[in-house]
Amino acid sequence: MVRKIKAKVVLQLRAEGLSGRAIAASQQISRNSVAEVLEAADAAGVRWDDISTRA
């Protein structure tokens, strides 16, 4: 399973338009881990805009 901090990065990179494969390669995690994070976020209705700390 992906650590919490990696999950945030995965959501951020998806919001920037990267593919699951590109996210996995850039973060050196498996494509399955990326898919798990994205599926869980989609199921919960969570997007990067919901968790980002932009002021």
3 or 23, greater pLDDT? 23
Q: In whole angstroms, how far apart are CA 24 and each of 10, 31, 42, 54, 55?
A: 8, 5, 18, 24, 28
Ranges of each domain in the chain: 4-50
Condensed to tens digits (0 to 9), the pLDDT of residues 10-55 reads 999 999 999 999 999 999 999 999 999 999 999 999 999 988 875 4
DSSP string, 5-52: HHHHHHHHHHHTT--HHHHHHHHT--HHHHHHHHHHHHHHT--HHHH-
| Predicted model pTM | 0.83
User: What would the two tokens of residue 26 be?
Assistant: 């850039």
